[in-house]
Amino acid sequence: MKEDLNPFKIAQQQLDNAAQIMDLDPAAHAILREPKRILIMSIPVKLSSGKTRVFTGFRVQYNDARGPAKGGIRFHPEETLDTVKALSAWMTWKCALANIPFGGGKGGIICDTKKMNERDLELLSRAYVRHLGRDMGPEVDIPAPDVYTTPQIMAWMLDEYNNIVRHNEFGAITGKPVEVWGSQGRMDSTAMGGIFVLREAAKMLKMDPKKATIAVQGFGNAGKYAYTLSKKIIGSKVVAISDSEGGVYDPDGLDLAKLEEAKEKTGSVQGYKSKNAKKVSNEELLELKVDILIPAAIENQITGENADRIKCKLLLELANGPVTPEATDILFKKGIIDLPDFLVNSGGVIGSYFEWVQNQTGDYWETDLFYAKLDKIISKSFHDTMDVQAAYAAKGKKINPRMAAYIIALDRVAKAMKAKGWY
């Protein structure tokens, strides 16, 4: 039977599997299977052309037992409510695993930013906030950038929210430009957190990261920073990288300046030229024989169909939902260490938490302090996950790292709901 790739069904299946393993209270399980609140918005925007277009927008506030909802806003032509629901669920577990005082949320608008000018993007961004207005804020729901949204878009949204509440409320949105009290270190915090996890995993596996080869799927914010930081901090050799058009593989290692030049001139990293470079598809990149594979693009890239052909030793899910449940089981049986997305990419929301704290207190940090705090939190999350996996193994139950991370997160959210009397 063909694997169901509906993202929310995948999120529910992962939850169900973990709930069974940890014997989660049925009432808590039932609450956690569905979002607490779903907002669907019809957003009319009078565009700069003079024409009015109605956009569909979403905001899902999945669970706020541990704090205000937290999560990005995606602008994507194929955005769906099920995708937003799944991402808001994963945000809930991500915040709980990192043990920061947020619940999970996510938002999105069905639109194609590549076909919109800057003025129309601003008009749409402001209209979204006007529709969300009373259902967001620093103690309610705190948006941030995601796919095809930027710090500039966050600045417009913040300004619109400030117009609604009639005062500056910088903690209402994170991922902002530093000029409006965004945080130093926030821009690359997703990838930086992933690199800290990579470092700790390499120690555990007794792998020399300086001799390791890396393939990165994705050349957006997370993927590009994963490339630069893995070379700068770890000293590894990135031999393959890709964008939506395809990828390039060079066993001698890739040069970032040449990659960016190729992207600018040809529209894709596949335009990269070197003596031993060759073009590969996104599918072929995933199946390269490398030490470390970093999916940093979109969901459902490693499935039951191709998981058996994955050859890496360590897989770091920097994207959201890149590995399906069926693939997770196959990778585990193959002995590949697959570290889950809501551990590996939690540096983004941890960085947003730091920005929110700075906004709430007025105490702003230097980049080194930001990174040091990020390192401490995400490294602890990694070791907590490995400890739970080891504890279950000691009891004769072999579970994969994703289930171990889920057990930690679900336990924390369930205890918060129990303390509040939700069940």
Q: Is 338 helix (H, G, I), strand (E, B) or coil?
A: strand
Question: Minimal CA–CA distance to 77: which of 155, 142, 147, 170?
Answer: 147
User: Taking phi first (over 0 means left), then psi (-120 to 50 degrees means alpha), and beta for anything else, what does residue 206 get?
Assistant: left
Contact, 217 vs 247, CB < 8 A? yes
Residue 311, number of CB atoms within 10 A of its CB: 14
Question: What's the gap between Cα 177 and its chain centre?
Answer: 19
Q: Crossing angle for the helix pair 367-394 and 81-98, nearest 10 degrees?
A: 90
Distance CA 105, CA 38 (A): 10
Is 106 among the catalytic positions?
Answer: yes
Per annotation, catalytic residue among 36, 70, 94, 106: 106
Tell me how far apart the 2 most distant CA atoms of the chain are, in Å.
67
Strand 213-217, strand 237-243: pairing: parallel
Give residues with Cβ within 8 angstroms of 352, minimum separation 6: 70, 142, 144, 174, 175, 186, 189
* First vs last C-alpha separation in the chain: 37
Measured CA to CA, the distance from residue 70 to residue 11 in angstroms comes to: 17
* Phi, psi at 100, each rounded to 5°: -110, 155
Distance CA(227)–CA(240), nearest Å, equals 10
Catalytic residues, by residue number, are 106
